[in-house]
Structure formats: structure tokens, C-alpha cells
């Protein structure tokens, strides 16, 4: 039997300060012993989006407290950790630096190894933490800053076969919410109103479905929502039913694009003849029930196993960072105090970089 491994994880790449403890026991089973997230929604509310300077200061103020809470909830002390994993990018650089500095301090004080984790890798490995999914699998990573199809073959082995050429779906949800006077983060608010609306009243475009391949575009959708909103607005006010129908029309456009592009990505992936055909979804937008339902249907049609992590592990959290750290640790990865924070860090370095910047700074 293997020796148990216990990992502390830290996450601070966007607007959630988080720490968690994850353990693989002697039987090989993995358990999340604690998962603490301190969100910053209230701090950014007045600005209609994440303000990097405010985020960085809040991370620096709260990260120690998060670590303390995570250890307390796990009923463990720092010396009982095998290593310290920390998000080292991609993300808003001030926030990533807060986490990296804190982790370096803990590592220097305890002599525990340090492991820099790619935030996207954390999301992409989550279905292994939650469902024990075996490599390889196809991953659709959909969040506020990212949208890509990855073939996951190992904890540090990902190939990108498609992605957004502009906004991520989460950004489109957030911008749509802003246009319609809904609260941030926009995804849950838009989903709630969409459930009460007519998806057919406004026919929004399904960008890039006419183009081959798995690349996507979401920036035109918010412009379409803006135009439709302006047409139904009178005296600067909009009826609640109009908001609901706009949300519903917007969400169904996003679902259609993600579903059709997933079908194409699966076709490409299945051509590799994987032993267990599987699609997993991760990232904050994976919390969307209409998107999950659409993906589940494609997978059922194509005889592919579908995995979607529980909601708390879809949005940003440190359990996924601790878990990714654990896999990397087991594979022999170690960093030292020269670890640096990276605003841009693609998971697949062999593919051309994605363009533009999103809520979390530069696209990876
Ligand atoms: O993964 P995440 O917590 O942070 C990033 O790495 O970006 O994702 C946050 C994004 C936000 O844009 C939020 O609006 C979106 O996920 N989101 C949703 C839902 N819940 C969160 N989007 C659509 N439907 C949801 N239910
Ligand atoms: Zn994320």
C-alpha cells in the first residue's frame, strides 16, 4: 500500500481567495479534507467587473486567513502537509503573486516542497478528483476567462484542439447580465431569468457554426443582445419579461454553440480510439444546468461517458489546485523559491496562443 499524501493548495488568480487540503490515503482514495473560498463579489460590485488592483489587495489580506481556516477544518497542522501547491498562473498577476508569495513563505518556513500549478490544469484535472476519471479524456474547459477543448493524457500533458477566438462564455454571460441590469457574476443570474423566458422570441446568432473545426466566438453575442435590448427598451426601462426572454435566447445560443462544437471535438477525439470514450466539463460556466443538459444529450447520442463536477468544484476553488499539485507531486514535479507568477501560461505550449484578454487578464 502506498503512503498517504496530504497537499495544501492555494488559489488567488481571479476574484476568489481560496485554500484547501486534499489527501490521497493508503488505499489510493482521494478526499477533500477542507475547501475554503473567500469570494470578492461585494468588493467589485460597484465597478461592474473585477478590478485587478482591488483583487490583488484583497488576496494579500485574506490568503493567510484562508490557509489557517483550511488547516483548521482539515484538523491538521502545516508540518503534516507533504507539499504546498499554489496557482502560479495564468491569471491577474497581482493576485497570482499574492498566492505564490504566501506559498513560498510557507515552504521556506517549513522546508516543505513547493509545486506551482497551472490554474487551467486544476480545472482540467477536477473530474479525476471528483469521479476518478482515467486518462485520456476530452475536456471542455468553460469559465469566465477561458474556453477550450483539451485532450487530457496526463497531469501535465494536454493538447488543445479548439477554443474561443475572443470572449469566453462566462464573459458573455457577465456582459449580458450587465446589459440587462442583473447582478454579477452574471452566469447564475442569467440562468435564473432564462428559465422563465421564451428561448425562441429572440433569435441570436450561433457564431462560427458555419466554420469547420472546434474554434468558437462569443463576443458578437453580447452585441446582438445589446441591439435587441435597445429595440425593446422604452424610456430607458425594460420589462421583466423582456429581460427573461433575452436571457433565454442568449443562453440557448451559447448552449447550441457549445453542444455542436463538442460534437465535433468528440468526433476528432474518438478518431484516436481512446479506451474509455469520455467527455468532462469544468470551469465556472460548467455550473450552467442548460449547458450540462445539452452536453449530456450529445454524449448519450455518441455513446460517450459524461462527467460534470459538483458546482462548488466547477467555479474557482483551491481543492482542484491541491489535487493537481498532488498528481504532479506523485509524478515527481517540484518547484523551488525561484517559482514565478505567470499572467499567461498555456496548458498546451505546442498550440498557437489564444488571442486577447479576458476577465482574468491575458488569455492563456
Ligand atoms: O471558473 P470560474 O469560477 O473563474 C474563472 O476561472 O473564470 O468561472 C467564473 C465564471 C463567471 O463568468 C460566471 O458568470 C460563470 O463562471 N458562471 C456561470 C454560471 N455560474 C458561474 N455561467 C453560466 N451559468 C452559470 N450557472
Ligand atoms: Zn477558473
Helices 219-232 & 169-179, crossing angle to 10 degrees?
20
Note the pLDDT tens digit of each residue in 341-353. Answer: 999 999 987 776 5
Query: Cβ(95)–Cβ(38) under 8 Å?
Result: no
Q: Are 153 and 120 contained in the same domain?
A: no
DSSP 66-120: HHHHHHHHHT--GGG-SEEEEEEESS-HHHHHHHHHHHHHHHHHH---EEEEEHH
Residues 216 and 225: their CA atoms lie apart, in Å, by: 18
Q: Are 332 and 255 contained in the same domain?
A: no
Residues 252 and 258: their CA atoms lie apart, in Å, by: 10
Q: Are 270 and 358 contained in the same domain?
A: no
Note the pLDDT tens digit of each residue in 189-208. Answer: 999 999 999 999 999 999 99
What confidence tier does 50 reach under pLDDT thresholds 50, 70, 90? confident
Q: Are 259 and 237 contained in the same domain?
A: yes
Residue whose cell numbers read 453580447: 222
Nearest atom in ligand 1 to 144's CA:
7
Query: Cβ(317)–Cβ(22) under 8 Å?
Result: no
Q: Is any ligand 1 atom within 6 A of the Cβ of residue 118? A: no
Nearest atom in ligand 1 to 283's CA:
1
DSSP 35-73: EEEEE-HHHHGGGTS--HHHHHHHHHHHHHHHHHHHHHH
Note the pLDDT tens digit of each residue in 281-313. Answer: 999 999 999 999 999 999 999 999 999 999 889
Structure-model confidence comparison of residues 63 and 112, the more confident one: 112
Residues 248 and 251: their CA atoms lie apart, in Å, by: 5
Strand pairing of 137-142 and 83-89?
unpaired
pLDDT of 44 > 90? The answer is: no
* Domains: count for the chain: 2
Nearest residue by C-alpha to atom 3 in ligand 1: 315
- 300 CB neighbour count, 10 Å cutoff: 10
Q: Is any ligand 1 atom within 6 A of the Cβ of residue 40? A: no
Q: Is any ligand 1 atom within 6 A of the Cβ of residue 14? A: yes
C-alpha distances out from residue 23 to 265, 307, 318, Å: 33, 22, 13
**Choice among 32-41, 101-110, 145-154, 167-176 with the minimum mean pLDDT:** 32-41
Q: Is any ligand 1 atom within 6 A of the Cβ of residue 220? A: no
Residues 68 and 223: their CA atoms lie apart, in Å, by: 44
Nearest residue by C-alpha to atom 10 in ligand 1: 144
Nearest residue by C-alpha to atom 22 in ligand 1: 187
Nearest atom in ligand 1 to 317's CA:
3
Q: Are 277 and 237 contained in the same domain?
A: yes
pLDDT of 357 > 60? The answer is: no
What average pLDDT does the chain have?
Answer: 93
Q: Are 208 and 329 contained in the same domain?
A: no
Quick one: which ligand is closest to 117's CA? 2
Structure-model confidence comparison of residues 291 and 274, the more confident one: 291
- The pLDDT score that the predictor gives to residue 45 is 78
C-alpha distances out from residue 122 to 152, 179, 188, 206, 326, Å: 12, 31, 22, 29, 11
Grid cell, residue 22, equals: 486534499
Domain range spanning residue 189?
135-311
Burial 273-294 (b: 16+ CB within 10 A, else e): ebeebbbbbbbbbbbbebbbeb
Q: Are 15 and 152 contained in the same domain?
A: no
Nearest residue by C-alpha to atom 16 in ligand 1: 284
Q: Are 146 and 216 contained in the same domain?
A: yes
Ligand 2: distance of its center to the CA of 236 in Å?
A: 35
Ligand 1 pocket test, pick from 45, 48, 221, 284 with the greatest ligand atom count within 8 Å of Cβ, gives 284
**CATH number, residue 115:** 3.30.420.40
- The pLDDT score that the predictor gives to residue 361 is 55
Residues 264 and 363: their CA atoms lie apart, in Å, by: 23
What confidence tier does 231 reach under pLDDT thresholds 50, 70, 90? very high
Q: Is any ligand 1 atom within 6 A of the Cβ of residue 285? A: yes
What confidence tier does 364 reach under pLDDT thresholds 50, 70, 90? low
Percent of the chain with pLDDT over 70: 96
CA 51 to chain centre: 19
Q: Is any ligand 1 atom within 6 A of the Cβ of residue 170? A: yes
Ligand 1 pocket test, pick from 87, 148, 185, 324 with the greatest ligand atom count within 8 Å of Cβ, gives 185
**Choice among 128-132, 250-254, 298-302, 359-363 with the minimum mean pLDDT:** 359-363
- The pLDDT score that the predictor gives to residue 60 is 80
- The pLDDT score that the predictor gives to residue 47 is 77
What confidence tier does 362 reach under pLDDT thresholds 50, 70, 90? low
- The pLDDT score that the predictor gives to residue 53 is 80
Q: Are 224 and 157 contained in the same domain?
A: yes
Nearest residue by C-alpha to atom 13 in ligand 1: 187
Q: Are 89 and 233 contained in the same domain?
A: no
Three-class HEC string of 119-138: HHHHHHHHHHHHHCCCCCEE
Q: Which of 311, 336, 352 is the last residue of a domain?
A: 311
Nearest atom in ligand 1 to 185's CA:
14
Grid cell, residue 164, equals: 474561443
Q: Is any ligand 1 atom within 6 A of the Cβ of residue 284? A: yes
Q: Are 139 and 230 contained in the same domain?
A: yes
Note the pLDDT tens digit of each residue in 124-148. Answer: 999 999 999 999 999 999 998 889 9
Nearest atom in ligand 1 to 315's CA:
3
Grid cell, residue 183, equals: 447582478
Note the pLDDT tens digit of each residue in 66-85. Answer: 999 999 999 999 999 999 99
CA 124 to chain centre: 8
Q: Are 151 and 211 contained in the same domain?
A: yes
Sequence-distant (≥ 6) Cβ neighbours of residue 16 within 8 angstroms? 37, 38, 39, 40, 315, 316, 317
Ligand 2: distance of its center to the CA of 288 in Å?
A: 15
Ligand 1: distance of its center to the CA of 65 in Å?
A: 24
Q: Which of 311, 331, 346 is the last residue of a domain?
A: 311
Amino acid at each position: 500500500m502506498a503512503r498517504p499524501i496530504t497537499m495544501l493548495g492555494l488559489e488567488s488568480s481571479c476574484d476568489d481567495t481560496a485554500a484547501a487540503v486534499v489527501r490521497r490515503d493508503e488505499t489510493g482514495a482521494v478526499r477533500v479534507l477542507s475547501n475554503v473560498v473567500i469570494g470578492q463579489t461585494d468588493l467589485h460590485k460597484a465597478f461592474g467587473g473585477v478590478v485587478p488592483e482591488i483583487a490583488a489587495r484583497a488576496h494579500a489580506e485574506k490568503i493567510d486567513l484562508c490557509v489557517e481556516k483550511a488547516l483548521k477544518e482539515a484538523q491538521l497542522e502545516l508540518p503534516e502537509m507533504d507539499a504546498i501547491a499554489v496557482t502560479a498562473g495564468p491569471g491577474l498577476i497581482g493576485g497570482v503573486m499574492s498566492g505564490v508569495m504566501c506559498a513560498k513563505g510557507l515552504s521556506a518556513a517549513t522546508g516543505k516542497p513547493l509545486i506551482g500549478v497551472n490554474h487551467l490544469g486544476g480545472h482540467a484535472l477536477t473530474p479525476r478528483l471528483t469521479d476518478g476519471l482515467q486518462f485520456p479524456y476530452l475536456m471542455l474547459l468553460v469559465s469566465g476567462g477561458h474556453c477550450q477543448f483539451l485532450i487530457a493524457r496526463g497531469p501535465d500533458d494536454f493538447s488543445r484542439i479548439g477554443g474561443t477566438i475572443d470572449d469566453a462564455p462566462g464573459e458573455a454571460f457577465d456582459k449580458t447580465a450587465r446589459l440587462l441590469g442583473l447582478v454579477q457574476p452574471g452566469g447564475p443570474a442569467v440562468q435564473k431569468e432564462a428559465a422563465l423566458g421564451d428561448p425562441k422570441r429572440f433569435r441570436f446568432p450561433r457564431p462560427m457554426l458555419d466554420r469547420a473545426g472546434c474554434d468558437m466566438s462569443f463576443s458578437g453575442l453580447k452585441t446582438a443582445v445589446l441591439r435587441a435590448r435597445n429595440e425593446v427598451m422604452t424610456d430607458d426601462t425594460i420589462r421583466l419579461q423582456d429581460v427573461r426572454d433575452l436571457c433565454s435566447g442568449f443562453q440557448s445560443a451559447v448552449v447550441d454553440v457549445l453542444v455542436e462544437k463538442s460534437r465535433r471535438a468528440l468526433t476528432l477525439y474518438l478518431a484516436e480510439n481512446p479506451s474509455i470514450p469520455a467527455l468532462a466539463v469544468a470551469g465556472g460556466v460548467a455550473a450552467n444546468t442548460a449547458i450540462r443538459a445539452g452536453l449530456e444529450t450529445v454524449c448519450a447520442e455518441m455513446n460517450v461517458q459524461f462527467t460534470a463536477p459538483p458546482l462548488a468544484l466547477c467555479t474557482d476553488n483551491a481543492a482542484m489546485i491541491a489535487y493537481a499539485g498532488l498528481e504532479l507531486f506523485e509524478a515527481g514535479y517540484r518547484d523551488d523559491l525561484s517559482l514565478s507568477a505567470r499572467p499567461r501560461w498555456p496548458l498546451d505550449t505546442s498550440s498557437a496562443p489564444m488571442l486577447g484578454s479576458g476577465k482574468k487578464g491575458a488569455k492563456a
